[in-house]
């Protein structure tokens, strides 16, 4: 298999790819857009994409990418995230004036930057890539926020451990494929829908799901790109079997203006 990840070896996406698929061929992508295109054009078998974090929230543009490239979610994985502060050997926190990392990682470490206001946070394309550049360029006074695996891989010292503001920090990743497929034991679906503008329309949709015994584990409004200040909804639905979901799909189908199934897959427990 060839698997697309956002970032390079040592990134959290790389860890998830290894957990789910073992040591496979990787296509390292600098952006989520690049990842989505590789999957949609069949240049890779699947992609691993972060979709949300328990501290920083949902990555809304990634839902739009999944839809625009007509990708299918076929699996999910929750990864416990422990951010480490790393730099060249022989330095300490007092030597550091700049910290580089992915924007989501920086968001998850806001308390660290409040405690160290003199340290500048700089957004980069990837956690592991920030560590790699520091090692390759011999950048003194600059640190990266990344995984312990990245520190070991690129020969950096960890000078502060677990600097995320909440110890129980998890990121949800999804596996994306070009075509939907039947997943044995599927009990979860992600859908995108638009409700009518009639008062109470969203409430009727949610009540219908409850009456059918379908658990709404998440609902998130996302902007409709070509319609300013109008929103659709992404929802995660959990059910006992596909027959129950098919009934729910029919029942709420008459209550929504449009609906798109982003994936039917097996739920993973936190």
Answer whether residue 270 is part of any domain: no
Full residue range of the structural domain in which residue 46 is found? 2-80+170-177
Asked if 57 and 122 sit in the same domain, the reply is: no
Asked if 66 and 89 sit in the same domain, the reply is: no
Asked if 108 and 62 sit in the same domain, the reply is: no
Answer whether residue 127 is part of any domain: yes
Q: Is 208 known to be catalytic?
A: no
- Helix, coil or strand: residue 207: helix
**Which residues, listed in sequence order, are joined to residue 25 by a DSSP beta bridge?**
2
Q: Is the dihedral of CA 29, 33, 39, 45 positive or negative?
A: positive
Q: Which of 90, 84, 97 is nearest to 142 (CA)?
A: 97
Residue 265 pLDDT greater than 90, yes or no: yes
Answer whether residue 12 is part of any domain: yes
pLDDT at residue 228, as a whole number:
75
Distance CA 93, CA 91 (A): 7
Please say whether the beta carbons of 117 and 97 come within 8 A: no
Please calculate the CA angle 216-218-219 and round it to the nearest 5 degrees.
Answer: 100
Tokens found for residue 142: 């600059």
pLDDT at residue 269, as a whole number:
80
Please count the other Cβ atoms lying within 10 Å of the Cβ belonging to residue 233.
18
Q: In this predicted model, what pLDDT tens digit does every residue of 100-142 receive, in sequence order?
A: 999 999 999 999 999 999 999 999 999 999 999 999 999 999 9
More confident residue, 13 or 227: 13
Query: What is the 3-state secondary structure of 16-33?
Result: HHHHHHCCCEEEEECCHH
pTM of the model: 0.91
pLDDT at residue 230, as a whole number:
76
pLDDT at residue 65, as a whole number:
95
Asked if 197 and 245 sit in the same domain, the reply is: yes
Answer whether residue 182 is part of any domain: no
Residue among 124, 127, 171, 190 flagged as catalytic? 171
pLDDT at residue 168, as a whole number:
86
Answer whether residue 93 is part of any domain: yes
pLDDT at residue 217, as a whole number:
94
Residue among 112, 173, 193, 233 flagged as catalytic? 173
Tokens found for residue 33: 């857009």
pLDDT at residue 105, as a whole number:
95
Answer whether residue 165 is part of any domain: no
Which CATH number do you get for residue 143?
3.40.190.10
Which CATH number do you get for residue 192?
3.30.70.260
Q: Tokens 């920086």 — which residue? A: 106
Q: Please, which pLDDT band fits residue 148 given cuts at 50, 70 and 90?
A: very high
Q: Please, which pLDDT band fits residue 223 given cuts at 50, 70 and 90?
A: confident
Asked if 89 and 39 sit in the same domain, the reply is: no
Answer whether residue 88 is part of any domain: yes
Q: Which of 107, 119, 105 is nearest to 147 (CA)?
A: 105
Residue 270 pLDDT greater than 80, yes or no: no
Answer whether residue 99 is part of any domain: yes
Q: Is 233 known to be catalytic?
A: no
Asked if 76 and 89 sit in the same domain, the reply is: no
Q: In this predicted model, what pLDDT tens digit does every residue of 160-204 receive, in sequence order?
A: 999 999 888 999 999 999 999 989 999 999 999 998 878 889 999
DSSP state of 1: -
DSSP state of 156: P
Q: Please, which pLDDT band fits residue 37 given cuts at 50, 70 and 90?
A: very high
Distance CA 14, CA 154 (A): 15
């Amino acid at each position: 298999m060839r698997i697309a990840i956002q970032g390079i070896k040592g990134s959290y996406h790389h860890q998830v790819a290894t957990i789910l698929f073992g040591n496979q061929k990787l296509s390292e992508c600098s952006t989520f857009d690049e990842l989505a295109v590789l999957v949609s054009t069949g240049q890779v078998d699947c992609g691993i994409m972060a979709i949300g974090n328990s501290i920083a929230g949902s990555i809304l543009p990634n839902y739009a990418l999944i839809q625009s490239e007509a990708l299918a979610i076929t699996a999910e994985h929750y990864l416990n995230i422990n951010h480490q502060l790393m730099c060249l050997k022989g330095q300490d926190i007092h030597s550091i004036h700049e910290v580089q990392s992915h924007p989501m990682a920086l968001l998850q470490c806001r308390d660290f930057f409040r405690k160290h206001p003199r340290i500048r946070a700089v957004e980069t394309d990837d956690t592991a890539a920030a560590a790699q550049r520091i090692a390759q360029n011999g950048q003194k006074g600059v640190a990266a926020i990344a995984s312990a695996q990245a520190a070991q891989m690129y020969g950096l010292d960890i000078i502060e451990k677990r600097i995320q503001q909440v110890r129980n920090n998890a990121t949800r990743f999804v596996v994306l494929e070009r075509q939907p497929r039947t997943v044995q034991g599927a009990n979860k679906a992600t859908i995108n829908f638009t409700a009518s503008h009639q008062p109470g329309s969203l409430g009727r949709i949610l009540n219908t799901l409850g009456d059918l015994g379908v658990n709404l584990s998440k609902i998130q409004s996302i902007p409709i790109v070509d319609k300013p200040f109008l929103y659709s909804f992404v929802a995660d639905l959990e059910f006992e079997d596909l027959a129950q979901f098919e009934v729910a799909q029919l029942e709420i189908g008459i209550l929504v203006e449009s609906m798109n199934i982003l994936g039917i897959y097996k739920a993973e427990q936190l």
